[in-house]
Amino acid sequence: MNTERQTRSFLNTQVLSRLAGLPLLSRRPMQGNVSGRHSSPHRGSSIEFAEYRKYVPGDDLRRLDWRAYGRSDRFYIKEFEADTNLRCCLVIDTSGSMGFGSKGVNKLEYARRLGATLGFLASQQGDAVGLACVAGGLVQNVPPRRSAAHLRLVFDLLEQAKPQGETQLARTLHELAETNQQRALIVVISDLFVEPATLGHCFQHLRFRKHDVAVFHLLDPQEIEFNFRRPMRFLDMEGGPAIFAEPSDIARRYHAALEQYLAGLKQVVLESAIDYHRVLIDEDYEKVLVRFLTSRAQAKGVR
């Protein structure tokens, strides 16, 4: 009997069991070190035929296609796809703004649920899971590993994460792009309160490093609606100056600024071809993950 069994507030076993049937697949070939469920850029020994190529001395004779030799009197090597595991790197924004939540749950808590569930699912299918907590810089960074103990460490770090400090997401993403040499699935969970152009550079950088980038853009419904009636004093959760505002006066311009931002972000997403998911945190995270996993399963095969 395992006496050290812990319950995590951000993990729901029922959700995990329901999602267990859905594979977490990468959209790009991964370079794992063991066999797995993900396509590899190298030829391997799977049952999925890849291509024929001419024999060159030194090739394993067991891979010669004798039938082809019989038909054409030439030596061809029959190659198959390789399946490997992936390195899933969860990038969680823990800046002050992630502490905001008008519907009972704040963005960081929502990010914990998403990240922990994805980490668990990845671990279950033999993928390595790592964690990077981002605020003013890289607050916590655990490289991806496959062990169950490592997953527990990731959960511990998620549990300890607190929303504080400014957002330095762009700088941190550049840093991660540089430090992760091997291809990985980078899952960014953040409110993305950064200029879209700056984010675009980060995503291009990650893509250049052949990482598969998935982004969960967390927004609170109140941030979208901005339906205040009374004069408000807005305190910056990241320590900036407070703003006095008459909502009826400023709402229109707020919405204009929001729309301009979202349009810019959409453009960035299209240009960098990342897997972008805008999420309102009042939505059930299970549905969000189902949508995420399903879309990835459908995209399987694109190498």
> Given the rule CB under 8 A, which residues bind another protein?
96-100, 107, 191, 193, 219-220, 223-225, 227-238, 240, 243-245, 247-258, 260-262, 278, 280
Pick between residue 80 and residue 254 the one whose CB is nearest to another protein. 254
> Min. distance of Cβ 142 from another protein in angstroms?
26
Determine the residue type at 216.
F
- Asked if 97 and 191 touch (Cβ cutoff 8 Å), the reply is yes
> Min. distance of Cβ 101 from another protein in angstroms?
9
In terms of Cα–Cα distance, which of 279, 206, 278, 234 is closest to 28? 206
Distance from C-alpha of 296 to C-alpha of 262, rounded to nearest angstrom: 23
Pick between residue 206 and residue 265 the one whose CB is nearest to another protein. 265
Pick between residue 212 and residue 275 the one whose CB is nearest to another protein. 275
Pick between residue 212 and residue 223 the one whose CB is nearest to another protein. 223
- 3-state DSSP call for residue 72? helix
> Min. distance of Cβ 199 from another protein in angstroms?
12
Q: Which residues contact 296 (CB under 8 A, 6 or more apart)?
A: 23, 24, 25, 26, 27, 275
Nearest-5° angle of CA 12, CA 30, CA 133? 50
Pick between residue 36 and residue 96 the one whose CB is nearest to another protein. 96
> Min. distance of Cβ 162 from another protein in angstroms?
14
Tokens 């504080």 belong to residue = 164
> Min. distance of Cβ 259 from another protein in angstroms?
8
> Min. distance of Cβ 253 from another protein in angstroms?
4
CA neighbours within 13 Å on the CB side: how many for 83? Answer: 15
- Asked if 146 and 123 touch (Cβ cutoff 8 Å), the reply is yes
Pick between residue 127 and residue 223 the one whose CB is nearest to another protein. 223
Please report, in angstroms and rounded to a whole number, the separation of the first and last CA atoms in the chain.
44
